[in-house]
Every structure is written in structure tokens, then in C-alpha cells.
């Protein structure tokens, strides 16, 4: 099973680039930028990654991102992630980035974009990995800040495929960003949103109806509303699930309690993703291994995670076709 998973072509649709910052790179950037990070070693940083819920993670995650200052830093961060994609046979990736985490510290939107996009272009040329970028608004900040961020993105419209919504879900429901998302859609962006991770199933419904998102990030709480699950199946709404993240943040007590395989077998379009791999204990292959270890799966079922992600991705019809072919060829070869 390990062997089949390792070689399986994959598509990642739920990855926060700031969440791929490994402690070793965090240390290197802190030194390069003369920033004091109050940890003695990368191992000490790792030992601090013991989370009780989403907020306990977010506090450390925003702190870690403070070492990112120059376009060189954002390039190194993104390039390191793309090399992980190559190692895990991820052929297409859609990356979230959190501009407000950086602009709030005086790092310009353009610096962030220059570093990330240079790495993505190089990854396409040298590694053959296609990608898209999704701008996430931090939901704990206000609507005005989100509108300011959308304005900063204007010169980069062609490089950003969609807007998203992340950070603390409880207390910051989708309707808080109804007008920003409407404005973004008006400008041609697609939309996605984190919903039903820690928050209620109604957040998933509101993300679909009010924010008009194309897919839902996490969405594990959909099971609290049978009518919603029926709607997700009927309307082929994709859920970008993140199994290791959910266990690390105590959304589920253990992997064998995770509902991803149940939902897959009910006919919901679900995929496997890493979310914040540097913080949650693994990249794409590790997430697949963890799910398969707790829930025995056939080759066809494992491949279905990728096939669902391909359909839900924001790549061109041609690229989707090519990706699908690679998955089918791989499964046929086993």
C-alpha cells in the first residue's frame, strides 16, 4: 500500500504556503534577517508544536511567519514546498497565501508575490509541476482590511486564481465577508473558504450560498446535517480535507474517527491535503499513509481522492485531461 500511495499521482488543493515553513528554514531565515525567535534549535521549535485546537496553532503559526521578510525568503519557502511536491508525486498544487500576515508587519504585498511567483514559474519549468495561487483573507480581521488587501492584489490579478478565507472560524462566519467576496467575484476571482472545520455545518451552507464558493476547505462538520451531505453529493461540491491537521488540532480524537472515508463511500467529492505540513507532521504522502493505515482502502479508492481533486481544481480542461490520464494509467499498471 505504501508503494502504491508513493507513486500515485496527486493534486493538492489545500496548502498554506506559510504552513510549509520547516523549523530548519525558520532558523536559517531568522539568522539571515537578524530576527530573534526565542528558540534554541529547530528541535525545540518542533517540540512546541503541541496544539489543543485551531487557535493554539494559529498563534504559533503567525509567530513563525515573522521570519519571512524579503522576496528571497518567500522564494526559498515556496521552492522548498515545490521540492516536497516533487518527492510526493504531486503534479498540480493550489497554494493559499495570507497577505495580511505580512502586510501587517510592513512587508509589501509585491514582495510576497514576487518571491512566490518566481518559485512557481521555476517549478513549472524545472519540475513540471503546475500550480495556482489563492489569496486568503484572515477572518479574524475586519472587512476593511480585507478590502484593502483585495485592492493591493489588483496588479497581480492574472497570477491569483481565487480568494479564500482562513484563520479563526468560530465567531467569524462567512457573512462577515459577503461584500468582499462579491467584489472579488466581480473582478473575476473564483472563491473558496474554510468552513465546517471547527465551526458549524451552517458555515458550509453560508459559504456556498453567500460567498458562492466553488469548493469547501475542510468541511468535516457537514455530517451534522444530512440534508447538507445530500446537497454536497448532488451538486458535486468538493471538500479539501486535511486528515493529519484535523487530528493535530483535535477536530477528531484519532484518525480512525475521521469521517473522510465514510464520506468518500457515500459519494461526496473529498480529497486529501496537507494544510500546514511543517506543523502537522507530514506532507501529502504522509496524509495518505495515515488515512490508509486507519481505514483500509482499495487502490481505486485511493486514486479517487486524486480524481476528485482534479475535477475540483482550477486548472484548464487540457491540464485536467492530462492529469486524469496519468492517474488512470497508474491504476491500470497496478
Give yes or no for residue 98 binding Zn ion (CB under 5 A).
Answer: no
Residues within window 262-321 making contact with ligand HPA, judged by CB under 6 A:
275-276
Shortest distance in whole angstroms from residue 97 CB to Zn ion: 12
Query: In the stretch 270-289, what mask flags binding to Zn ion with x, by CB under 5 A?
Result: -----x--------------
Q: 276 CB contacts (<8 Å, ≥6 apart)? A: 16, 18, 19, 20, 57, 61, 245
Count of residues that interact with ligand HPA, criterion CB under 6 A: 10
User: Which region among 57-65, 130-138, 268-276, 306-314 touches Zn ion (by CB under 5 A)?
Assistant: 268-276
Between 8 and 95, name the residue whose CB sits nearer to ligand HPA.
95
Dihedral angle over CA of 72, 74, 77, 78, nearest 10: -110
Here the cell at position 76 is: 526559498
Could you tell me if 275 and 238 are in contact, meaning their C-beta atoms sit under 8 angstroms apart? no
Determine which helix (DSSP H) or strand (DSSP E) holds 77, and give its type and residue range.
helix 71-87
**Is residue 217 classed as helix, strand or coil in its secondary structure?**
strand
Residues within window 43-102 making contact with ligand HPA, judged by CB under 6 A:
54
Rounded to whole angstroms, the Cα distance separating 298 from 215 reads 25
β-pairing, 190-195 vs 238-241, is unpaired
Between 93 and 304, name the residue whose CB sits nearer to ligand HPA.
93
Give yes or no for residue 20 binding ligand HPA (CB under 6 A).
Answer: no
Between 76 and 197, name the residue whose CB sits nearer to ligand HPA.
197
Of the candidates 135, 239, 140, the residue with the CA atom closest to the CA atom of residue 184: 135
197 is catalytic: yes
Shortest distance in whole angstroms from residue 64 CB to ligand HPA: 11
Between 8 and 213, name the residue whose CB sits nearer to ligand HPA.
213
Residue with cell 525567535: 37
Q: 186 CB contacts (<8 Å, ≥6 apart)? A: none
Catalytic residue, chosen from 197, 301, 311, 318, is 197
Give yes or no for residue 194 binding ligand HPA (CB under 6 A).
Answer: yes
Binder of ligand HPA out of 101, 245, 287, 313 (CB under 6 A):
245
Here the cell at position 79 is: 521552492
> Across-strand partners of 23?
none
Between 117 and 167, name the residue whose CB sits nearer to ligand HPA.
167
Point out the residue whose Cβ comes nearest to ligand HPA: 166
Chain positions contacting ligand HPA, by CB under 6 A: 16, 19, 54, 166-167, 194, 197, 245, 275-276
Amino acid at each position: 500500500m505504501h508503494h502504491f500511495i508513493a507513486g500515485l499521482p496527486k493534486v493538492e488543493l489545500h496548502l498554506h504556503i506559510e504552513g510549509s515553513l520547516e523549523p530548519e528554514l525558520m532558523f536559517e531565515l531568522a539568522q539571515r534577517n537578524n530576527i530573534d525567535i526565542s528558540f534554541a534549535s529547530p528541535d525545540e521549535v518542533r517540540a512546541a508544536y503541541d496544539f489543543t485546537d485551531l487557535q493554539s496553532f494559529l498563534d504559533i503559526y503567525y509567530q513563525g511567519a515573522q521570519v519571512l521578510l524579503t522576496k528571497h525568503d518567500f522564494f526559498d519557502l515556496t521552492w522548498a514546498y515545490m521540492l516536497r511536491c516533487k518527492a510526493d508525486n504531486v503534479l498540480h498544487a493550489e497554494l493559499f497565501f495570507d497577505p495580511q500576515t505580512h502586510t501587517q508587519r510592513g512587508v509589501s504585498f509585491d514582495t510576497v508575490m514576487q518571491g512566490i511567483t518566481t518559485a512557481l514559474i521555476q517549478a513549472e519549468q524545472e519540475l513540471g509541476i503546475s500550480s495556482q495561487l489563492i489569496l486568503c483573507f484572515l477572518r479574524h480581521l475586519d472587512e476593511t482590511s480585507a478590502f484593502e488587501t483585495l485592492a493591493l492584489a489588483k496588479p497581480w490579478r492574472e497570477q491569483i486564481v481565487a480568494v479564500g478565507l482562513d484563520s479563526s472560524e468560530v465567531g467569524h462566519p462567512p457573512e462577515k465577508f459577503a461584500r468582499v467576496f462579491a467584489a472579488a467575484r466581480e473582478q473575476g476571482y473564483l472563491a473558496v473558504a474554510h468552513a465546517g472545520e471547527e465551526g458549524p455545518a451552517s458555515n458550509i451552507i453560508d459559504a456556498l450560498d453567500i460567498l458562492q464558493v466553488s469548493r469547501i476547505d475542510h468541511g468535516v462538520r457537514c455530517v451534522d446535517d444530512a440534508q447538507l451531505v445530500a446537497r454536497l453529493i448532488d451538486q458535486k461540491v468538493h471538500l479539501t480535507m486535511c486528515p493529519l491537521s484535523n487530528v493535530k488540532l483535535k477536530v477528531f480524537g484519532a484518525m480512525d474517527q475521521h469521517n473522510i472515508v465514510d464520506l468518500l463511500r457515500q459519494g461526496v467529492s473529498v480529497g486529501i491535503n496537507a494544510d500546514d505540513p511543517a506543523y502537522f507532521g507530514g506532507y501529502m504522502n504522509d496524509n495518505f499513509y495515515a488515512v490508509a493505515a486507519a481505514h483500509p482502502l482499495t487502490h481505486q479508492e485511493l486514486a479517487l481522492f486524486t480524481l476528485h481533486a482534479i475535477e475540483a481544481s482550477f486548472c484548464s480542461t487540457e491540464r485536467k485531461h492530462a492529469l486524469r490520464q496519468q492517474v488512470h494509467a497508474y491504476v491500470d499498471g497496478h
